[in-house]
Amino acid sequence: MRVGFVQFDCRFGEIENNAYRAAHFISHQRADLWVLPELFNTGYQFVSKREVAALAEPVPNGPTTQRLIRMAKENKTHLVAGLAERSGKSFYNSSVLVGPKGLIGLYRKIHLFYEETRWFTPGNLRFQVHPVGKARVGMMVCFDWFFPEAARSLALLGADLIAHPSNLVLPYCPDAMPTRCLENRLFAVTANRVGSESRGTETLTYIGMSEVVDPKGKILYRASDKNEEAHVVEIDPKLARNKSLNRYNDLIKDRRNRFYVKS
């Protein structure tokens, strides 16, 4: 299975142009699954709820999801992409999984980061896993990585791969994802953006370093911290089905649930 990410500098409010650029990146290499950054169509640094209201779109009938479905059809691929979703009176920092036939999955970011808490409603959907070819794919968005329960939930649902659209500004995630992958024995594709935004009173600089990590915590490929690029890696998703560490230990079966604190 060929899985890839697009790391690029999404321009705030330029929905058409951002989608056009993402389409351009994925048209040059074949992949079975592409992951695009968080809020790839709108940009990240909203400064008012009114801006979110003006740019958020319904899923699946909004123009960005429809465009992603066309991209999947034209390139015979699947895509996971972050976007601002409008649902009734609420706005979610969401991620969609689409294929040539349409929308397959929707995830609404559960752990909102920093000022996102001012504009978005925390996700209200459970973690889910969906088939993409022979792989089972789960989604989480950026800051969710900081909560090991997110990746663990996806692992317990049987995910072989976590698709992880991101707009990282703190430095920790690229070095932390190998641990998430190691402890859950699964693959992850983190698609981060580069560039910076200075729309409010502060500048946010996005750290790039998008990466593909394997179930042993090995970084199969990591992008630079500044440059735009699309990169594809060949993986065998079946490797994520083997949770055993040695003859005596299985990282999922050995869990001692009754000793863990729930809250």
Which residues are known catalytic residues?
A: 38, 109, 142
Indicate if the alpha-carbon torsion angle 46, 177, 109, 111 is positive or negative. Answer: negative
In DSSP terms, 33 is beta-bridged to: 3, 78
Tell the smallest beta-carbon distance from residue 121 to ligand ACM (Å).
Answer: 15
Whose tokens are 């993402």? That residue is 22
Report if residue 143 touches ligand ACM, rule: CB under 6 A. Answer: yes
206 binds ligand ACM (CB under 6 A): no
Residue selected from 113, 119, 120, 127 as contacting ligand ACM according to rule CB under 6 A:
113
When binding is defined by CB under 6 A, the residue of 3, 10, 142, 223 that contacts ligand ACM is 142
CA atoms of 183 and 212, how far apart (whole Å): 16
Backbone angles phi, psi at 186, to 5 degrees: -145, 170
- Which residue in 45, 167, 184, 192 binds ligand ACM (CB under 6 A)? 167
Q: Is 106 in the site for ligand ACM (CB under 6 A)?
A: no
The least CB distance from residue 144 to ligand ACM, in Å, is 8
Residues 10-69 that bind ligand ACM (CB under 6 A): 38
Kindly report the backbone phi and psi dihedral angles of residue 198, in degrees, each rounded to the nearest multiple of 5, phi listed first.
-135, 65
In the complex with ligand ACM, the residue whose CB is nearer, 34 or 143, is 143
Q: Which of 52, 168, 191, 212 binds ligand ACM (CB under 6 A)?
A: 168
- Count the residues of the shown chain that bind ligand ACM, applying the rule CB under 6 A: 7
Q: How far is the CB of 94 from ligand ACM (least distance, A)?
A: 13
Provide DSSP, 91-160.
EEEEEEEEETTEEEEEEE-SS--TTHHHH-PPP-S---EEEETTEEEEE--GGGGGSHHHHHHHHHTT-S
CA 243/CA 36 separation, integer angstroms: 28
Q: Of 168 and 194, which has the nearer Cβ to ligand ACM?
A: 168
**Amino acid present at 260:** Y
Minimum distance of ligand ACM from residue 170's CB (angstroms): 7
Alpha-carbon distance of 182 to 213, in angstroms, equals 9
Which residues are near ligand ACM by CB under 6 A?
A: 38, 113, 142-143, 167-169
